[in-house]
Structure 1
Amino acid sequence: MSNFNVIFWRHAEAEDALGSTQGDETDLRRNLTKQGRRDAAQVAGWIKSQLPKPWTVISSPAQRARQTAQHLNDYAGTDARLRPDASMEELLSIVSEFPRDGGGLILVGHQPTLGRAGLYWITGCDQQFSMRKSGLLWAVERSREVGIKRSLRACISADLLAD
């Protein structure tokens, strides 16, 4: 029986956009800061060293999320269901539609939805779960004779990986 790995990865630190609101055009164009690029590269390196291939990377259409995802894959797919103002149900529909063929799925998105969705997918508990910028939740779904079991494999933030 194969394992299905899902990583819920919050985008790295981005530039401020004074006067913008979550999900507006100015917000969607925000770039990563220098620290954000370093953190994204460091977390991506960790993912590459830990997660068995193949994996698929899907990002929010927001620039900061796409730039984070590019540290894993130059041509990460984007999905509007990962946008900053998406609902948890929209985000989780990506996971539910993904084939369970032993590969991995990496979703790059935004708080507060990403943390809430990750916690819900793992535990069934619908509560807020705060994730640091460039932090991730890695969950594994295993098919067993008694049904599907999900567990937390890792919860990492860039500061834990710093040299």
Structure 2
Amino acid sequence: MDLILWRHAEAEDERDGLPDLKRALTKRGEKQAAKVGACLKRELPDDTLVLSSPAVRCVQTADALGRKYQVREALQPGAKAQDLLDAAQWPSAKQPVMIVGHQPVLGQVVARLLRMESGECALRKAGVWWLRAREREDGQEIVVWAMLPPELAS
């Protein structure tokens, strides 16, 4: 199974009175999302299930893919790593799953699956980690299939 984790692009800073879920992408964030989204459009398998946090910044990032996606409340800020893995049906989903979400939980998922001792991994805004679960004779192996910072997307 492939699990693709895409952190939302650059968003507005928190302002007085603006709920966190309502923060939108900045102009720079819109450009980041468009650039990474264009690259992902070419690479993602057609049957990829795309799931997004309900936060405006995540929905706007997911929109850059130009394909259908589902908004899942379980992916909003404050989610736990297991919430994301459950939403993705990891590792038994029959198709690739992409999650558009937030730090620190995306990094916690990466760290958990790759067995990083720190328990956390930094994901840049608009960055993508593509993980693949493969069955081996001695059990399941998780590999980093790709990492894409927004600067390398083309």
Normalising to structure 1: TM-score of the pair? 0.84
RMSD: 2.0
Deviation at 1:145, TM superposition (A): 4.1
Q: Quickly say closer, same or farther: Cα 1:54–1:125, change in 2 above 3 A.
A: farther
- Asked if structure 2 preserves the Cα contact closer than 8 Å seen for 1:11 and 1:64, the reply is yes
Q: Where do 1:11-160 residues align within 5 Å?
A: 11-19=8-16, 26-96=19-89, 99-101=92-94, 103-123=95-115, 125=117, 127-160=119-152
| Structure 2, unaligned runs of 5 or more | none
Return the alpha-carbon distance in structure 2 between the equivalents of residues 145 and 7 of structure 1. Answer: 24
Give the secondary structure class of the aligned counterpart of 1:131. Answer: coil
| Structure 1, unaligned runs of 5 or more | none
Give the secondary structure class of the aligned counterpart of 2:15. Answer: coil
Deviations 1:12-37 (A, max 9, x none): 011122236xxxx7110111111111
Return the alpha-carbon distance in structure 2 between the equivalents of residues 123 and 46 of structure 1. Answer: 28
- Asked if structure 2 preserves the Cα contact closer than 8 Å seen for 1:120 and 1:126, the reply is no
Percent of pairs with identical residues:
35
Spell out structure 1 runs of 4+ moving beyond 4 A: none
